[in-house]
Chains A and B, each alone.
Chain A
Amino acid sequence: MKTFFFFFLVLIFLIGVVNAQEEEAKYNFGSAQSAKEISIAPGDEVTTKLYFYNIHGNRITHISLEVGEAPKNWDISIDPALHEISVIVSGVTTTIEENLFVEPGSDVAESIPDDVPEGIEYISSSVGFVGAKPVKIKIKIPSNEKLGTAATVRIDAVAEWLGQTGTAAITQGRSFEYTVTVVSKEFTETILEKAPEKGEEAVEEVAEGAAKEAEEKEPETKVVEKEVQVGIPISTFVGVITVLVIIGIFVFIFISKKK
C-alpha cells in the first residue's frame, strides 16, 4: 500500500513538472505614468515617477529606459540608472543591461499593506492597490531657459524576457511623454496692451484705413501704463453705511435721553 502511495505521489509530481514546462510564456509589462504635464522654473529640478508592475506574467520583465527626446541643454536623468546585472537563465550565466526588473506576481491588495517591501510603492488602480517598482525621472533645466517655453520630454522603455529560444526574440516597447512648460517661480501679471472694444475697432477701421495697414506691417509691442482702479465690493459699501446708520441712531438716542 505504501509503495502504491509513493508511486502515486511521484506521478502527480511528474505531471505537475510537465504542465509547468508546457505553460505558455506570458510576457507582462504594466506601467503607470503619474504626470504628463509638468511646470518648472528656470534653473529648477523636478522629479516625476514611472511605475512598473508584472501582475499577469510568468516571466521576469527586464526593463531598460532611455531619454528618447528632450531639449539638448536640459539635464534628464533616470534613477535607477542603466546598469549591468548577471542572471542565470536555465543554468547559463548571462549579463544584461537594464534599469530594473519586475518579477511576476506583483501584489494586488484592497488596501496598502502595513509592511511594504523595500523598493515597492503601492499605487491605486482599477483592480486595487498594485505593488509597483518606481523609477524617478529627474528633469533639470538651465537657469537661462526662456519663460513660456514648452518642450516634450520622452522616455522610451523596452521590456525584455530572457530564455527565449526562437529565431525572433519578443520585446515590448512603450514611450512616456511629458509636456514640460517653463514658468516663473513667482506669479506676476502685466497687461501689455488694451484689447480694442468692438465699437472702437469699427470706427478706427473706417477712419484710419491705410495707416492701420502700415502699422500691421511693423508690429511692435507697446507697454501701456494703466491706472489701477480698485473697486469696492457692494457688501463693504453697505456695511460702512450700516455702521454709520447704527452710530447715528445711537447718537440720536443718546442726545434725546440727555435732553
Chain B
Amino acid sequence: MFAVLSSIIILVLVNFAIGATSEVTSASASVTVNTFVDITLTDAGAAGFAFGSNDPGTSNNKEVDQTEGVSSILPAATVTRETTSNVGVKVRLKGTDFTGGAGTIAISNAKYDDDGAHTEAPETNLPVTTMTTAYPGTEYTTLTAVSPSVKIWFWLDIPTGQAAGSYSSTFSFEGSS
C-alpha cells in the first residue's frame, strides 16, 4: 500500500515539474519615455537684437549689446539647454528679411558665430554662418548635458544704396530633439 501511495505522489510531482517547465509563454512589453526639450535664450542688454543706426555700404555692424573679439564673453544671446531636457537639442537659426523702411534688407546680410570674431582665421569652434529664411538642413550645434549652452554673436551688413528708414526682422531659434 505504501509503494502504491508513493508512486502516486511521485507521478503527481513529476507532472507538476514538467508542467512548470514546458509551458513558457512570452509577451512583448514596451514603454515610451516622454521627450522633454527645454531651451532658454538669454538676451543681453535691451530685449531683442538691435544693430543701431548705420550707413549704407557698411559691413559687419555688430549687435549693440555684444562685445567683439575672440576673447569676448559678452554675446548677443546665449542658448541654454535646461536640465529638464532628456535629449540632445539640435539648434538651428533662421530669420526674416528686414522690412519696414523704403525697401528690404535680405536676411543673407546677417551672420552669426559662436565667438566674437567673425574674421577669426583659422576658425577655432563653430563657423561664421549666414542667416537664411529657412532653417538650414543641418544643425549649427547640438546641446547636451555635457555641453549645455552656446553663445551667439550677430553682425549685419547694410547694402550700398539702401534706402533710409527703420527696418525690423525676426530671428528664430529652433531647439529640436
Contacts and interface: CB of A to CB of B under 8 A. Distances in A.
Contacts of A80: none
Interface stretch (B5-13, B115-123, B136-144): B5-13
Contacts of A174: 37, 174-176
A81 B110 CA distance: 35
B41 A249 contact: no
Nearest to B20: A235
Contact of A169 (B4, B34, B86, B170): B170
Contact of B84 (A30, A158, A234, A238): A30
Interface in B57-91: 77, 80, 82-84, 86
A126 to B, nearest CB: 6
Interface of A: 24-37, 53, 55-57, 123, 125-127, 130, 158, 161, 163-175, 233-235, 238-239, 242, 245-246, 249, 253
A195 to B, nearest CB: 22
Given A165-B50, A171-B173, A32 B42 contact: no
Given A31-B37, A34-B34, A168 B84 contact: no
Contact of B50 (A25, A26, A166): A166
What are the nearest 6 A-B pairs in CB distance? A166-B48, A164-B48, A235-B19, A30-B38, A166-B50, A168-B49
A246 B11 CA distance: 8
Given A168-B168, A171-B172, A172-B172, A249 B8 contact: yes
Given A172-B172, A246-B11, A56 B40 contact: yes
A130 B84 contact: yes
B18 A125 contact: no
Contacts of A253: 1, 4
B82 A55 contact: yes
Given A33-B34, A55-B84, A242-B11, 17 more contacts: A25-B47, A26-B43, A28-B41, A31-B36, A35-B32, A127-B83, A158-B172, A165-B47, A167-B48, A167-B98, A168-B98, A169-B48, A170-B172, A171-B171, A175-B176, A234-B22, A246-B11
Interface residues of B, number: 54
Contacts of A126: 36, 83-84, 86
Contacts of A33: 34-35
B44 A24 contact: yes
Given A168-B169, A173-B135, A29 B14 contact: no
A249 B6 CA distance: 12
A27 B43 contact: yes
B95 interface: yes
A125 B82 CA distance: 12
B40 A28 contact: yes
Contact of B174 (A25, A30, A130, A172): A172
A130 B85 CA distance: 12
Contacts of A30: 36-39, 82, 84
Contact of A29 (B38, B83, B166): B38
A46 B95 CA distance: 35
Contacts of A245: 11
- Counting chain A CB atoms within 10 Å of each CB, the highest count among B40, B83, B168, B175 belongs to B40
